[in-house]
């Protein structure tokens, strides 16, 4: 907790929070990181296999095989979400299943399934980007800033 | 009547005439499936939304309690009930079906004892002959309301708790052979500045301790008066904190005498992290398991302390801390 936040707490609250945090089960961060590394890596290996499959057996180049690969992973993720498997993988893998494109697909499919009872327009359509929306917004903002920095360097930096 | 600051003693000794408990498939695989009247294999209960499923579950629990008491719905004067969904949707819509005068209550997971305390008070003072009280919660409906979509693959920390899919109701009346409702202590909001909705046990523990202390002081009794003091849904962490806090406040309570509904409902190998929570948890466990144990003669006096975290999805996003409450009701066999 930040010091700023702590300042607003009464001494009784501070004492209790210390008392409580001593008894709290902490997130196993190292274990979670290792699991995330291997599961995330495994998902990427599957992705690589799919990509290799596409440019070996279909008329794709190594570069153009990326699109059908992502599409395949998204379909797989959406199906796993629909069958109620992806959230279990997520509990085990944490960031490992959240960071790859499958996690993004999961967040959209999960929200779409969840709000289906409210109808296709206001329910599914309106809520599909409930979680994914901020990824798109801040992804775009980040890309914009990075692009400006790159432009500044290449145009005036002479790199 | 009023003793001390905030405790009612019920001199007419209202009784719990009958109870109705209904639970879902995950609870059926738990530790106490035989203590539920009805178990459902389908989380949807054949409905097309989880909110409707919760409504049906609550209706079933109400009808079960009425049937077991050999009454009809016309005999019930009032329903005091609530749940966790926005605007108490499942409970209100169930009350529409049941067509009984209804007061909706919101005390988050403490609603069960809030309702029982009020029901006992009304019956004790002659305000009604039969009052039906109860709560329900549905795992998927509550997750949707307070957290992420159910199928979203986020990782829950070890402090998180699993919202039960269950409903529990009780009919309170003036005369009978017990179990008797002898007293109730109304809690006050305690906020220790915790804001993590994945650690509700830690946030609620001080509220439970405050209410237990107030109850013992108001009634001028020691903890040994009760065979068992059961908290609502503190879970593993909250229960440990509450126990240590009671020791720190020099309230002499034995470890085996201090239990938690949130730790009774599931088996250790079910993936529920810190234990169970939800408005239906304390209701279904109290009106099912705990009263059955009392009937068997295991315990003669128990104090149920239902705890509630009164946060909303909005307050959490606006970085507010979690206000917590606990209401205690004592149930005695004779």
pLDDT of residue A121: 93
Residue A110 has its nearest CB partner, among B50, B149, B244, at B149
Kindly determine whether residue B148 and residue A26, on different chains, have CB atoms separated by under 8 Å: no
Find the angle CA(A49)-CA(A94)-CA(A29) to the nearest 5 degrees: 125
The pLDDT of residue A4 is above 60: no
Give CA–CA dist B167/B245, Å, rounded.
30
Tell me which chain B residues have a C-beta less than 8 angstroms from the C-beta of A130: 149
The CATH code of the domain at B180-332 is 3.40.47.40
State which residue of chain B sits closest to A82, comparing Cα positions: B151
Are A19 and B156 inside 8 Å of each other by CB?
Answer: no
Domain range summary for chain B, segments of one domain joined by + = 2-173, 180-332
- Partnered with residue B38 across adjacent β-strands are B22
pLDDT for B178 equals 79
- In CATH terms, B2-173 corresponds, of 3.20.20.80, 3.30.300.160, 3.40.47.40, 1.10.3720.10, to 3.40.47.40
* Among chain A residues, CA nearest to B248: A19
Domain ranges (residues) in chain A: 26-156
Q: List pLDDT tens digits, range A30-89.
A: 999 999 999 999 999 999 999 999 999 999 998 899 999 999 999 999 999 999 999 999
User: What is the distance between the alpha carbons of residues A57 and B146, in angstroms, rounded to a whole number?
Assistant: 47
Is residue A159 over pLDDT 90?
no
pLDDT tens-digit profile of A135-151?
A: 899 999 999 999 999 99
| Chain A residues inside the 8 Å CB shell of B158 | 25-28
DSSP for B42-72, please give it.
Answer: -TTTT-SSHHHHHHHHHHHHHHHHHHHTT--
For chain A, the distance separating the N- and C-terminal CA atoms, rounded to the nearest angstrom, is 42
Give residue ranges of A with CB < 8 Å to any B CB.
Answer: 8-10, 12-14, 16-17, 19-20, 23-28, 32, 81-82, 84, 86-91, 93-95, 97-98, 103, 106-107, 109-111, 113-115, 117, 130-131
CA distances in angstroms from A148 to A134, A141, A145, B163, listed in the order given: 21, 11, 5, 47
pLDDT at B154: 85
Which residues in chain A are contacts of B190 at CB distance < 8 A? none
- Chain B residues closer than 8 Å to A82 by CB: 151
Using alpha carbons only, give the angle B208, B211, B213 rounded to the nearest 5 degrees. Answer: 105
Predicted confidence at residue A158, as pLDDT, reads 63
What pLDDT does A5 receive? Answer: 56
Whose tokens are 């975290």? That residue is B309
**Between B168 and B143, where is the model more confident?**
B168
The pTM of this model reads: 0.92
Instruction: Using alpha carbons, list the distances in angstroms from residue B67 to B71, B73, B268, B270.
Output: 6, 9, 34, 33
CB B13 within 8 A of CB B120: no
Q: Which of A13, A23, A28 shows the shortest C-beta gap to B193?
A: A13
Nearest CA-CA distance, residue A87 and chain B, Å: 4
Q: DSSP label at B107?
A: B
Residue with tokens 């498997």: A85
- Tell me the pLDDT band of A99, cut-offs 50, 70 and 90: confident
Q: Cβ contact (<8 Å) for B244 and A90?
A: no
Split at pLDDT 50, 70, 90, the class of A6 is: low
């Amino acid at each position: 907790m930040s010091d700023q936040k702590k300042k607003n707490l009464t001494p009784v609250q501070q004492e209790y929070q210390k008392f409580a945090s001593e008894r709290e089960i902490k997130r196993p961060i190292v274990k979670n990181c290792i699991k995330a590394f291997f599961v995330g890596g495994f998902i990427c290996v599957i992705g690589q296999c799919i990509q290799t499959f596409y440019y070996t057996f279909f008329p794709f180049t190594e570069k153009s095989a990326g699109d059908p690969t992502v599409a395949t992973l998204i379909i797989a993720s959406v199906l796993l979400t629909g069958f109620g498997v992806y959230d279990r993988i997520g509990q085990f893998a944490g960031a490992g299943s959240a960071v790859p494109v499958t996690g993004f697909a999961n967040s959209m499919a999960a929200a779409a399934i969840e709000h289906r009872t409210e109808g296709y327009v206001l329910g599914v359509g309106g809520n599909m980007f409930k979680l994914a929306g901020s990824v798109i917004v801040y992804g775009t903002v980040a890309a914009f800033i990075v692009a400006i920095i790159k432009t500044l360097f290449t145009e005036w930096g002479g790199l | 009547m009023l003793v001390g600051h905030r405790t009612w003693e019920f001199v007419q000794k209202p009784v719990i005439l009958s109870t109705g408990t209904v639970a879902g498939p995950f609870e059926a695989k738990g530790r106490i499936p035989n203590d539920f009247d009805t178990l459902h294999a389908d989380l949807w209960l054949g409905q097309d939304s989880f909110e409707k499923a919760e409504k049906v579950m609550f209706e079933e629990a109400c009808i079960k309690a009425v049937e077991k008491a050999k009454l009809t719905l016309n005999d019930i004067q009032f329903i005091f009930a609530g749940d966790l969904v926005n605007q108490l949707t499942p409970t209100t819509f169930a009350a529409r079906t049941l067509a009984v005068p209804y007061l909706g209550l919101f005390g988050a997971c403490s609603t069960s004892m809030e309702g029982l305390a009020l029901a006992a008070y009304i019956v004790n003072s002659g305000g009604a002959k039969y009052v039906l009280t109860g709560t329900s919660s549905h795992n998927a409906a509550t997750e949707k309301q307070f957290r992420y979509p159910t199928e979203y693959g986020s990782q829950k920390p070890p402090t998180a708790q699993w919202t039960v899919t269950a409903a529990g109701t009780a009919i309170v009346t003036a005369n009978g052979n017990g179990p008797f409702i002898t007293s109730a202590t109304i809690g006050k909001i305690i906020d220790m500045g915790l804001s993590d909705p994945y650690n509700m046990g830690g946030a609620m523990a001080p509220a439970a301790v405050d209410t237990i202390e107030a109850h013992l002081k108001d009634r001028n009794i020691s903890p040994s008066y009760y065979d068992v003091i059961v908290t609502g849904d503190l879970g593993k962490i909250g229960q440990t904190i509450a126990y240590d806090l009671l020791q720190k406040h020099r309230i002499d309570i034995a470890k085996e005498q201090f239990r938690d509904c949130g730790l009774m409902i599931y088996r250790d190998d079910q993936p529920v992290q810190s234990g169970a929570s939800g408005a239906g948890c304390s209701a279904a466990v109290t009106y099912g398991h705990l009263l059955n144990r009392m009937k068997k003669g295991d315990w003669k006096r128990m104090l149920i302390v239902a705890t509630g975290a009164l946060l909303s999805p909005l307050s959490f996003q606006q970085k507010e801390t979690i206000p917590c409450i606990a209401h205690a009701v004592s149930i005695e066999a004779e």
